[in-house]
Amino acid sequence: MRELDSDTLMFFDLHMNALPLYQAFEELLYASFSVVDRRVQKTQITFYNRHVFACVSFARVKRKAELPAGYMVITLGLHRPLESERVAVKTEPYPGRWTHHIVVSDPEELDGELLSWIREAYDFANAK
């Protein structure tokens, strides 16, 4: 497991129960893609190669009562809308670019289906 830097720890300061979930997600990305860079910002952690392909945040994409404890939101940009109950929100901010917000609260949700969407987002972002 990668060592956490102070920026990442500060990002999770109010969400420490989601930190193990994030660590599992980060390990999945680094194990799955040969080139991944990461930038910790105030409201999200961004993963990119040449271009952004995934973000982690605590955006409220559902009513507060519907959000599980220890959750994080994974945001992906794809060329198509995903038709899945796992997608909390999807929008088309630009023609041919769909933004998807997926709420994850259990390491088991970091599965092959999610990884296939991340791979698709990675390829889409870096094909430009």
Alpha carbons 128 and 126: distance in angstroms, whole number: 5
Give dist(CA 30, CA 13) in Å, integer.
Answer: 23
pTM of the model: 0.94
Residue by residue, pLDDT tens for the chain (128 residues) are 778 899 999 999 999 999 999 999 999 999 999 999 999 999 999 999 999 999 999 998 988 788 888 999 999 999 999 999 999 999 999 999 999 999 999 999 999 999 999 999 999 998 86
The domain segmentation of the chain, as residue ranges, is: 6-126
